[in-house]
Amino acid sequence: MKNPIYIPFGAAKEYGDYAINIYTGCPHRCFYCYAPNVLHKTREEFHGHVEPREGIVEAVKQQLEKERITDKLIHLCFTCDPYPTGYDNMATREIIKLLKEYGNHIQILTKGDGSRDFDLLDSNDWYGITYAGYPIGSLFISSPSEPQALAISDRLIAIYHAHKCGIKTWMSIEPVLDAEDVLNFLELNVGYVDRYKIGKLNYHPSKINWGDFGRRVERICKAYDMDYYIKDSLRKEMERGI
C-alpha cells in the first residue's frame, strides 16, 4: 500500500485537509452509506468484511517518515468508521500514536466508541460523532437507519467524556433524517459540543423542506452563538428559497 494519507476532494474537502481510511469496510449498515458505491463493492461485501487494510499501520509510518507530514489536521475516516462496533480496532490506536508522534492533529468521526483512545488526544484534536435526528424511542437502541451502530445515547456519553478530557468535540449532523429532532437538539445548546457541521440527506428521497430546515438551523446557531458550518449542498437549498 502506498500513501494512505491523502488530500480529500469534493464534499469531503469540507471536513479536513488530510484523511486516512483504515478499514476495508464498516459493520454499521447505515442505509444511506455511500462508501460501497465509492469503493465499487456490494453492500454485503462492504458491511460484512471489516478488517484493517493490509499493511496500513506500516504504510502510514513510512509515509510520515518520507514526506515529513506534520502539524496537519488528519480526518479518521471517510469510507469506514475508525471504531467499527464489534471488531478489533487497535489499528486505529496505532495510527493515532504515529500521527501524534509526528506532531499532527486528529479529527475523529465515529458511530462507534473511541473513548479508549482519549488518553492519546489533546486540546488540538477533535472527537466527533454523527447525529442524524432520531425518532422517539430510538435514542437508547440502535436506530433502524443505522442498525449496527452504537446507540446515539452512548455516542453522546462518549462525546461528553471527550469534552471533560479537554478534547475539542464536534458533531456531524449529516445526513439529516429527522429534521424536528435535530432542531430540538440544537435548541438544547448542550455545553459539550464545540462545533456543528450540518448537511442534508443526499442520494435518497426525503420529504424535508431543506431550504426551510437550513434557515431554521442557522437562526438557532446564531441565537446561541454556536460554532457551526452548513455544508454546501444544504446552503444551496437555503439560497434557492430566498
pTM: 0.95
56 C-beta neighbours (distance < 10 Å), count? 21
At 242 the pLDDT is 55
Q: Is residue 23 part of a domain?
A: yes
Task: Tell me the CA distances in angstroms from 106 to 12, 16, 116, 120, 145, one per residue in order.
Answer: 16, 10, 15, 10, 27
At 137 the pLDDT is 67
Mean pLDDT of the chain: 94
Q: Domain span at residue 111?
A: 10-240
Mean pLDDT of 41-60: 97
Q: Is residue 196 part of a domain?
A: yes
Mean pLDDT of 105-130: 98
Q: Is residue 4 part of a domain?
A: no
Say if CB 179 and CB 117 are below 8 A apart: no
Mean pLDDT of 53-70: 97
Cell (9 digits) for 106: 486528529
Q: Is residue 89 part of a domain?
A: yes
Q: Is residue 98 part of a domain?
A: yes
User: 197-222, pLDDT tens digit by residue?
Assistant: 999 999 899 999 999 999 999 999 99
User: 221-239, pLDDT tens digit by residue?
Assistant: 999 999 999 999 999 999 9
Residue 16 pLDDT exceeds 90: no
Q: Is residue 77 part of a domain?
A: yes
Q: Is residue 1 part of a domain?
A: no
User: Distance between CA 230 and CA 13 in Å, rounded?
Assistant: 13
DSSP label of 12: G
Q: Is residue 3 part of a domain?
A: no
Cell (9 digits) for 240: 434557492
**Where does the pLDDT of residue 95 fall: very low under 50, low under 70, confident under 90, or very high at 90 and above?**
very high
Looking up residue 141, the CATH number of its domain turns out to be 3.20.20.70
User: How many domains, the chain?
Assistant: 1
Sign of the CA dihedral running 73, 74, 77, 79: positive
Of 101, 104, 142, the closest CA to residue 126 belongs to 104
